[in-house]
Structure 1
């Protein structure tokens, strides 16, 4: 997938994630399994009335 290649190539410098309060039970990870450990720094977080949370991380 394109996002896997972007991570492997070192072209990702920040992540915008949304946590939605719904349990699905299965899914695909958003990083490739062979990426290894990547340190992240939380830039900011936003809580919405709907219950979801927006998170913005920068890779260190």
Structure 2
């Protein structure tokens, strides 16, 4: 079930979700989108690891 959900999530979905936050810092939003794009990769070899997520610019601010 989770795999089907991830397959149906498209990068444009993240963009449309993020685009409604127009008053937020653009760099922070770009980092957020980048992190989501990397977390929702189906291939575990290419997916962001927990360690990488914790050191990602969105997380570290």
TM range (shorter): under 0.3
Q: With structure 1 as the length reference, what TM-score do the two structures score?
A: 0.26
Q: Whose relative contact order is higher, 1 or 2, with alpha carbons under 8 Å and at least 6 apart?
A: 1
User: If you compute each CA radius of gyration, which structure gives the higher value, 1 or 2?
Assistant: 1
Structure with higher strand content: 1
Q: With structure 2 as the length reference, what TM-score do the two structures score?
A: 0.25
